[in-house]
Structure 1
Amino acid sequence: MSAARVALVGPVHPYKGGGARHTTELAHRLRAAGHPTAVESWRAQYPAALYPGTQTVDEPEGEPYPGTRRELAWYRPDGWWRVGRRLARESDLVVLTLFSPVQVPAYLGLLAGVRSVRAGAARVVALCHNVLPHERRAVDVSLVRALLRRVDGALAHSADQARLAEGLRGPGARAPVTAVLPPHLPATGPVAAPEPGERRHLLFLGIVRPYKGVDVLLRALAAGAPDDVALTVAGEFWGGTGELSALAAELGLADRVRLRDGYVPAEELPGLYAAADAVVLPYRTATASQNVWLAHQHGLPVVATRAGALADHVREDVDGLLCAPGDVDDLARALRGFYAPGAPERLRAGVRPVDPDPYWADYITRLLAA
């Protein structure tokens, strides 16, 4: 494959979370594969009112990418076009990382700048972490359709997401490429082998939103897990903890459920995983997630629904258990099965950390083909 000059447009440090880690890791991997790569990030990605948590962190969660530029701001549309013109002159491929329709107006302005450089041959690909939000509005569909019909190609992280993107791109457009979202795990330092024995404790980790199904987990915990098993829910609660706290009390779980509100920095992860027997992912819907691999990196099995791509990384009854999304009874069944005599130790013994290199090699190949 010949070298391509690539410009990645997306969040990096000081933005937090998987999106920033993915953009940064992709830049490192592209450069290591021989493709000169630049990163164009944000001074301000979203209005604060649209993101009720903390958007940035003080310490990077991985090795920063050198030479990153941060000229884009949601409130400076005059800058979108200028950045696009510059990227068109400097790049063969411009990659727009799409997480939310809120980004689309800036991307349309940037795309207009790219297209205005007649001598440039830069192609533009939308890298869709989420084609549409899990909780969507009509305007979200209109915005994403407008973007996907103007780019040269698209990449999605599952077959379902690729079909959704294809429908929005319209007839005659090049079909989106599907690629498995590769591992881009936070740097937590050396991971110690879990201590033997049961903790009688489960962990949910990540942003808490309705589609994540934490309410389903609470009901299943009350119905299915042994009454000495506790749960920690750790992450940013969009909308606050009040509703889930009230549900836990209603179900008689107040003394068994800890709601740890706020972003979880990388240095706190080892302690949370060490205190748990398993990670539970009760998602109603999903696209792609790092949470299965992150649990396995710390030696923990996973109880997950078959939503989205979650089940693709769980070996049923080897390193985890699976259940139907949105189904309290089926999740309760899985929790009972997990705590059957000897099951936690057996499933923990089946856990193997993921090897990221093959995933990234395939991902880069597919991205450049998109």
Structure 2
Amino acid sequence: MKIIIVGPSHPYRGGIAAFTDRLAAEFVAENVDVELYTFTLQYPSILFPGKTQYSDAPAPNDISIFRRINSINPLTWIKTAKEIKTKNPDIVIFAYWMSFFASCYAKMAKIIKKNKVSRCIGLVHNMMPHEQSILDRLFSPHFVKRMDAFVALSKSVLADVSRLDNKSKPKYFSPHPLYDHYGDKEDKVMAMNSLYMDNNYNYLLFFGLIREYKGLDLLLKAMSDKRLDKYPLKLIVAGEFYEKKEPYLKMIDDLDINDKVIICDKYIPDEEVKNFFNLADMVVQPYKSATQSGVTQIAYHFEKPMLVTDVGGLREIVPNGKVGYVVEAEPSKIAGAICDFYDNERIEYFESNIIEEKKKYEWSKMTETIMKLYNEIK
């Protein structure tokens, strides 16, 4: 069995690249011959709002990574596809998350399948972006047309794929596995000391890139709720701003919560992620729209209760009242859940349930789903 995965990988940073590398590592652990094909240029700088697209972390061990694809140069799509075609892989997995890559992936898949051996599986993080445009609706069907089967990371994404697939190709939902490569669960006070945080406070964590759809404004308004004043509580916002941060800073001033909010405005490197999660009592994702989220799977790995809003696929992976809360995307509802969490000392109950619940999200379940699909289409 030979598998090639096409998509973001080292040296690129971010959740999709981390997923690709971790999936490849799981295949290696299962003695599958796997290679990664990634980008020489992933995004033109004009489309990338962050400071850098690259990670400083070392490359993963025991995985061959080939940087071949320029996302805006079709000649590289053709050349790379021909290279993959000659290797005759049994499966080519395309990691898909935005329509910008639809034409590239569709062209590559069309060429690769001319070898009459390879089957192309779309591993779909998001089918349609959180902020859709007419181009998304125009290009996404091209990707769907060229795939032989699909794995979707949430039921809402699976529904999006089904709407675009007029041939009823095999497709399965397989939930986002744990991000378990950021280190281990450790003592909370030790994590506080590592980040120079005052251990007289309790901490909530908002983690990841800051974009409008993630609802940080809702959480800031919730933090100003007078019901929270009785708790020694601070919110840590850890992540790089992918939009102007001044409106958020102004909101913090206007709400008079400067003493309740700590902003770490940077991309959090892999080696620091564990400290932010280990010190938190609860991870809050007040999203206004979502399909699924890698942040949830980091929280599961570190056995942290979660507060998520009732949008997209988040409710699928955070059982309400068992491992955390699912609430309406309103500041008062978010604040109410935080009050319940501390007033009723839910942390130990949630953490004990998380230990059992997270078993659903082992990486072997993802590879099993991929192999099941392959056996249907080979």
TM norm structure 2:
0.87
Report how many aligned residue pairs link the two structures: 361
* 1:179 counterpart (163, 166, 174): 174
CA contact 2:222–2:335 (8 Å) conserved in 1: yes
**What SS class does the counterpart of residue 225 from structure 2 fall into?**
helix
CA contact 1:304–1:322 (8 Å) conserved in 2: yes
The corresponding residue for 2:153 is 157
Residue 194 (1) aligns with residue 196 (2): no
Shift of 1:283: 1.2
Shift of 1:207: 1.0
* 1:226 counterpart (220, 223, 228): 228
Superimposed CA distance per residue, residues 230-273 of structure 1 (whole angstroms, 9 cap, x where no aligned partner): 21111111112111111111212123212221200122223323
Match runs of 1:285-364 below 5 Å: 285-324=289-328, 326-340=329-343, 342-344=345-347, 346-348=349-351, 350-352=353-355, 359-364=362-367
Letter of the structure 1 residue corresponding to residue 83 of structure 2: R
Letter of the structure 1 residue corresponding to residue 104 of structure 2: A
Unaligned runs of 5+ in 2: 191-198, 374-378
* 1:262 counterpart (257, 261, 266): 266
CA contact 2:155–2:313 (8 Å) conserved in 1: no
Shift of 1:112: 3.3
Letter of the structure 2 residue corresponding to residue 168 of structure 1: L
Shift of 1:134: 0.7
Distance 2:155 2:276 in 1: 33
The corresponding residue for 1:108 is 106
| Residues 1:59 and 1:120: Cα distance change in structure 2 (over 3 Å) | same
TM norm structure 1:
0.89
Residue 369 (1) aligns with residue 364 (2): no
* 2:218 counterpart (212, 216, 219): 216
Higher mean C-alpha displacement, 174-183 vs 315-324: 315-324
Distance 1:322 1:198 in 2: 28
| Residues 1:180 and 1:340: Cα distance change in structure 2 (over 3 Å) | same
* 2:134 counterpart (135, 138, 154): 138
More helix by share: 2
Letter of the structure 1 residue corresponding to residue 176 of structure 2: L
CA contact 2:156–2:313 (8 Å) conserved in 1: no
Shift of 1:81: 0.9
Residue 12 (1) aligns with residue 9 (2): yes
Letter of the structure 2 residue corresponding to residue 82 of structure 1: K
The corresponding residue for 2:194 is none
- Two-structure CA RMSD over aligned residues (Å): 2.5
Distance 2:372 2:127 in 1: 19
Unaligned runs of 5+ in 1: none
Shift of 1:355: 5.7
Superimposed CA distance per residue, residues 130-174 of structure 1 (whole angstroms, 9 cap, x where no aligned partner): 11111111101211111101221122112221111111122x331
**What SS class does the counterpart of residue 128 from structure 2 fall into?**
coil
Higher mean C-alpha displacement, 288-297 vs 88-97: 288-297
| Residues 1:350 and 1:151: Cα distance change in structure 2 (over 3 Å) | closer
The corresponding residue for 2:277 is 273
Distance 1:323 1:139 in 2: 32
The corresponding residue for 2:163 is 167
Superimposed CA distance per residue, residues 161-196 of structure 1 (whole angstroms, 9 cap, x where no aligned partner): 1111111122x33142211111133333x4323359
Shift of 1:348: 4.7
Shift of 1:67: 1.9
CA contact 2:68–2:76 (8 Å) conserved in 1: yes
Letter of the structure 2 residue corresponding to residue 80 of structure 1: W
Distance 2:272 2:32 in 1: 35
